[in-house]
Every structure is written in C-alpha cells, then in structure tokens.
Amino acid sequence: MAVDFKQEMIYGIHPLLEALNAGKAVEKVFVLKGMHGKALNELVALLKGREVPFQFVPVEKLNRISRKNHQGVIASVSPVHFYRLEDVLPGIYEEGRDPFILVLDRITDVRNFGALLRTAECSGVDLVIFPSKNTAQLNADVAKSSAGAIFKVPLCRSENMKESLDFLKESGLKIVAATEKSAASLYDAGLDGPLALIMGSEGDGVSGEYLKRADLKVKIPLLGEIDSLNVSVAAGVMLFEVLRQRGASRQRR
C-alpha cells in the first residue's frame, strides 16, 4: 500500500522558532555544540516546553545530515501530528467514554511499530503513547507498515514515561502490563473500564519500572513449544480481548 510520508527539514534558529510557534510537529533537532546566544536560549526553552528531543552535536554531524547552509541548527518536521496526553484524556471522558490507551515500551523495529499502530486503529484505541527515545523512528517504513494508521490514530510522544503512567493512574485508568512473567491469563483478568495496556520490547518485555506501576500483569496462554509471540501479534490478541470484554460496543472515533 502506497502511503505518502514526506519529512520536511528546517535550517536555522529563527525559521525553527517560527515553525514551532506555528504548531508544526518538530520531530528532532540537532544543534551545533558550543553555540550560544539569546535566540538559542529561547529555542532550547521552547523545545523543552514542547517536549521535542534535541541534541548538541559537532559540526561534522550536521554536515553529514545536510550540506545546506544550516547555520548550526537542523530540525526534522514530521507529517504526523503529536498530541499531549493531558489534552486528550479530558475530551474522552467528556464524551462519556472509557479511555482506551496503548503504551509502547521501546518498540524499535519500524515494521512492528507500524503493525502496532494499524492494530491500534482497527481496535479503536484512543491514543498511543511511546517514549521519545529508544523507539522506532516514525518514517515511511512505519507509515507503510501501518497502512496509513499513523495518520489516523492519535499519537503521544512522552519525554518521561513514568510520569505519563502516573498521570494515567491519577486520571482513573487501570494500568495493564502484558508480560510472560505473570501467572495470570488475560482471559481471567478484568479488562473493562478506563484502561491503558503496556506492550514491551521484543528483547526483554515491559521494563521493571513500568511493571511496578501496573495494576494488573497478564499473559497470553501459549500452547506450542515457542514461548513468545511477535509483539504486534500479541498486541492484537490483547486489544481485541479488551473489546470482547467491553462487549465490542465502542463506536469508532
């Protein structure tokens, strides 16, 4: 399936400030190491406030990214719009619905990430949250694997996943972690009501810090000799079990 995914590049402090103030979804920023000045201070403050990842790098790194006159600053702008968690949740409750959130912990494979977004969109997930670091880059491969779902399901890029999970708990959501280390089957768990499901990396699953915050830890019973499923397949099983327990009565967004 052909999915158009054009990433825009911005060069220089002032053009980037204009883009940020215009509400563009800046994905990542590289700044020349050693730069200083009032405009740079303003830019860094704005990047921190918007939770946009940025990095100070040597000039060689900037020149490898682009030979254009970058003036010490290069930013990539995603065609994907990112949402703020605190802006999305109140609206869901105001509509009289139970929030249904998918949390992705260190999913670095672009095809898995895209497949997860596709499944999330098909199962009516309200928001997908993932860390700004140690996660797949949102690019054309993710867009293709998602079959366009990357532009349909709301996405939230978190600078601090622990704080995001704490916010979800404080907002009344049940935190459910999918982990093979649990003795509890997802089919015996109560997955109704406001809920956030955490799916972990293929390497080591959901991280310990996130498991500590989980209200429920569940696993998918497996009958074969292989002891794990691909994370996108596992997420499909989990998400649609949530729908089954809710009576599959959710209306599409």
DSSP letter for each residue of 124-166 = T-SEEEEESSSS---SHHHHHHTTTGGGTS-EEEES-HHHHHH
- Residues (pLDDT < 70) of the chain are 1-7, 23, 248-253
Question: Quick one: pLDDT at residue 102?
Answer: 96
Question: To the nearest 5 percent, what fractions of the chain are helix, strand and coil?
Answer: 35, 20, 45
Reported residue count of the chain is: 253
Question: Quick one: pLDDT at residue 155?
Answer: 92
Question: Quick one: pLDDT at residue 253?
Answer: 46
Question: Quick one: pLDDT at residue 252?
Answer: 46
Please list the residues that pair with 147 across neighbouring strands: none
Question: Quick one: pLDDT at residue 103?
Answer: 95
Q: Are 174 and 195 in contact (CB under 8 A)?
A: yes
Paired sense of beta strands 100-104 and 73-77, if any: unpaired
Within 13 Å, how many C-alpha atoms sit on residue 61's CB side? 13
Question: Quick one: pLDDT at residue 4?
Answer: 58
**Other residues' Cβ atoms within 10 Å of the Cβ of residue 221:** 9
Q: Which domains does the chain have, with CATH numbers?
A: 8-77 (3.30.1330.30), 85-245 (3.40.1280.10)
Question: Quick one: pLDDT at residue 6?
Answer: 66
